[in-house]
């Protein structure tokens, strides 16, 4: 089953959106297999966002993601990588559709509440970067046959 890495950014935690965000993915029918509240080191932030290291917003992005606690998560389910991105919405919340997390809960691109892996390659890379294997908990929810045919 496919897995993706999601992180509620410091703005989402500070604004009390942790429960709401987790609920969205639970209600969709996806399965939480990893979860931790943590402060992000500069080293982890720079590795996580390494594809953006030459962008003008990189320094601000690293400062922001290290500025407060983050909720790091791994979610599992059919199509979860692409569908979590759809539930999250466009990078710039001003372009994010209503009904998406960024569309409903954010305004500025530098305060867009949540991160989600954008491809199977990045999902694998980010899960391995943020989580140890023993921190991930495989389990089969009782609802499985009511979500999957």
User: Binding site residues for ATP, as ranges?
Assistant: 9, 57, 85, 91, 102, 112
CB of 35 to ligand DAT, least distance (A): 20
CB of 74 to ligand DAT, least distance (A): 17
Residue 115 engages ligand DAT in binding (rule: CB under 6 A): yes
| 115 a catalytic residue | yes
Q: How far apart are CA 32 and CA 26, in angstroms?
A: 8
Residue 118 engages ligand DAT in binding (rule: CB under 6 A): yes
Q: How far apart are CA 56 and CA 12, in angstroms?
A: 23
Helix pair angle (80-88, 18-28), 10° resolution: 130
> C-alpha distances in angstroms, 7 versus 91, 118, 142?
14, 13, 25
Q: By CB under 6 A, name the binding residues for ligand DAT.
A: 52, 57, 61, 91, 109-110, 112, 115, 118
In the complex, the residues that contact Mg ion under the rule CB under 5 A are 118
* Catalytic annotation, residues: 115
């Amino acid at each position: 089953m496919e897995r993706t890495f999601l992180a509620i950014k410091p703005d989402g935690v500070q604004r009390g959106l942790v429960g709401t965000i987790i609920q969205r993915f639970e209600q969709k029918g996806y399965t939480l297999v990893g979860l931790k509240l943590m402060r992000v080191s500069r080293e982890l932030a720079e590795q996580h966002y390494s594809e953006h290291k030459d962008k003008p917003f990189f320094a601000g992005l690293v400062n922001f993601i290290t500025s407060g606690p983050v909720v790091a998560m791994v979610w599992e389910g059919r199509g979860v990588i692409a569908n979590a991105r759809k539930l999250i919405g466009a990078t710039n919340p001003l372009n994010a559709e209503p009904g998406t997390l960024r569309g409903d809960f954010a305004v500025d691109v530098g305060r867009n509440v949540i991160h989600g892996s954008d491809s199977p390659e990045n999902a694998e890379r980010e899960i391995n970067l943020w989580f140890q294997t023993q921190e991930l908990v495989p389990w089969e929810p009782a609802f499985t046959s009511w979500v999957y045919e």
